[in-house]
Amino acid sequence: MRPRVICLMMTSPDGSLHPSRWTKSPDGSRADWSALYEQLHKSHNGKAWMVGRVTMAEISKAEAHPPSGPFDVRRPHHFAKPDAASFAIALDPSAKLHFSGDALYGDHVVVLLGSDVPDSHLAELAADGVSYVVSQTSEMDTGAMLDLLGRELSIDTILLEGGANVNGRLMAAGLVDELSFVVAPALEGKRDSDRIIEFGDEGLAGKAELSLISCDPLGHGAVHLRYAVQKPSE
Ligand SMILES: NC(=O)c1ccc[n+]([C@@H]2O[C@H](COP(=O)([O-])OP(=O)(O)OC[C@H]3O[C@@H](n4cnc5c(N)ncnc54)[C@H](OP(=O)(O)O)[C@@H]3O)[C@@H](O)[C@H]2O)c1
């Protein structure tokens, strides 16, 4: 079964993706709001978190280090640690990410890759102990790949943690079930700046509907906003 996807983000009321550009507040600091975000991450007790390629490249800074061939690699998937307690998932259609081990923050790494990923890259990931899934369609079918992760790794909930691109693409594909935002008392306000959810020139009108679940104060001037995401009614 496809895991439930909760998009968990920290943002400002103007939807900014970049806390480093925010105004200050007498109510709290960026460190306070980040700590609240981390608490929420933990409280979800999710077995997996997932980010886009750009965000993962800020976390895993390893360089390419393919082993020498010939390569004997498994397709379309290789699960190095199917019984891991928790997973860190990255969407990397063009095989740009590299890792220096099989875990990040203690969570086993799983990479979702495009169909034309070379064998040398799969061999590198396998040698690092990293799990992967190769798309079976030329356009990555993220829904089918998440189904597979649900089945093979018993993942029932995934925290989708940005950035804007992956959030927008999964929203547009109808793969996000809930939005869960820490909204901090700060503003960015820059023209054309990045927001926490983006879907190109098309935008998301007609692709999803939000319904309020709850809005709770968290302290330090921040609120926790939760919305259920539904398919648009006819
Ligand atoms: N405020 C917060 O809480 C927060 C949280 C996380 C990240 N961030 C910030 O967000 C910024 C990065 O965000 P971003 O929007 O530029 O990038 P991103 O969403 O992290 O990554 C986007 C990339 O992921 C791949 N991708 C995503 N969805 C895909 C899909 N459905 N199918 C195939 N490939 C997919 C593509 O890789 P390719 O380009 O290789 O095709 C795409 O360009 C960073 O500055 C980070 O610090 C902020």
Q: What are phi and psi of 120, to 5 degrees?
A: -60, -35
Ligand 1 centroid to residue 90 C-alpha, Å? 9
Distance CA 232, CA 234 (A): 6
- Distances, alpha carbon 25 to alpha carbons 72, 156, 215, in Å: 55, 37, 20
Average pLDDT of span 39-43 = 95
pLDDT-above-70 percentage for the chain:
100
Give the start-to-end residue ranges of the domains of the chain: 1-47+156-234, 54-155
Q: Given a cut of 80, is residue 234 above it in pLDDT?
A: no
**Helix locations, the chain, DSSP H:** 30-43, 53-59, 119-127, 142-153, 164-172
pLDDT at 233: 83
* 162 Cα nearest atom in ligand 1: 6
Q: Does pLDDT of 232 surpass 80? A: yes
CA of 57 to the centre of ligand 1 (A): 9
pLDDT tens for 98-131 read: 999 999 999 999 999 999 999 999 999 999 999 9
Kindly report the CA angle at 82 between 167 and 164, in degrees rounded to 5?
Answer: 10
Centre of ligand 1 to C-alpha 7, Å, is: 13
Q: Rounded to a whole number, what is the distance in angstroms from the first to the last CA of the chain?
A: 26
Residue 46: pLDDT band (50, 70, 90) is confident
Tell the residue nearest (CA) to atom 12 of ligand 1. Answer: 163
The answer to whether domain 54-155 has CATH 2.60.40 is no
- Of 161, 165, 196, the residue with max ligand 1 atoms within 8 A of its CB, to mutate for a pocket test, comes to 165
- CB 131 less than 6 A from any atom of ligand 1: no
In which band, very low, low, confident or very high, does the pLDDT at 12 lie, cut at 50, 70 and 90?
A: very high
The per-residue pLDDT of the chain, averaged, comes to: 97
Instruction: Give the C-alpha separation, 232 to 145, whole Å.
Output: 23
170-208 burial, b if ≥16 CB within 10 A, otherwise e? bbbeebbbbbbbbbbbbebeeeeebbbbbbeeeebeebb
Position 69 confidence tier, pLDDT thresholds 50, 70, 90: confident
Q: What is the pLDDT of residue 190?
A: 96
Residue range 163-191: mean pLDDT, rounded:
98
- CA-nearest residue for atom 33, ligand 1, is 93
Superfamily of the domain at 1-47+156-234? Dihydrofolate Reductase, subunit A (3.40.430.10)
Q: If you search the block for the tokens 């009108």, which residue do you land on?
A: 205
- Using only C-alpha atoms, the chain has a radius of gyration, in whole angstroms, of 18
CA of 55 from ligand 1 middle (Å) equals 5
Nearest CA to ligand 1 atom 10: 163
Measure 174 CA to ligand 1 centroid, in angstroms.
17
Mean pLDDT of 166-175: 98
Q: What is the mean pLDDT of residues 166-176?
A: 98
pLDDT in tens, 130-163: 999 999 999 999 999 999 999 999 999 999 999 9
CB 25 within 8 A of CB 183: no
pLDDT tens figures, 187-214 = 999 999 999 999 999 999 999 999 999 9
For ligand 1, is residue 89 a contact (CB within 6 Å)?
Answer: no
The answer to whether 180 and 224 have CB atoms below 8 angstroms apart is: yes
